[in-house]
Amino acid sequence: MSEKPAEESRDRLESVVGCLLAVLGVAVTGGFALPRAAYSIEGGFEAEARDWGVILVDLPLILFAGLVVPPLVWATATRWLRPWAALLVCVAVVGLGLWGLAAGWHPTQAPDPGDGSGT
């Protein structure tokens, strides 16, 4: 009981915010990645375009990053910044991560109906 009650409640609040950021991070990355990967999961006609790499590697890594990165950034940023500034840093890092994901991750998409050779 060497800590003051005010510091203990502040630490507990920061921990709760970190947990909420983890849940929110998974929800945001899942909401971003799952619609993009829907065709790779369903596989199109007779599941002939199912991409197991997206299902077993890409999506778990993306969701894991959404679970881990926001609380780690929060924990790091709160050491040097005020909580509101640390929250802004978390939002910026998640936004940059989603932007990088959109720029570099291109799972298979449904073919365009106008691409067929038959008329």
- pLDDT (mean) for 5-23: 86
Q: What is the pLDDT of residues 66-89, one digit of tens each?
A: 999 999 999 999 989 888 899 999
Residue 116: pLDDT band by 50, 70, 90 thresholds?
Answer: low
The torsion defined by the Cα of 80, 85, 89 and 92, in degrees rounded to 10, comes to -170
Rounded Cα distance, 112 and 115, in Å: 5
Helices marked H in 43-113: 52-53, 59-80, 83-104
Q: How many CA atoms lie within 13 A of 78 on its CB side?
A: 17
User: How much of the chain is helix, strand and coil, in % rounded to 5?
Assistant: 80, 0, 20
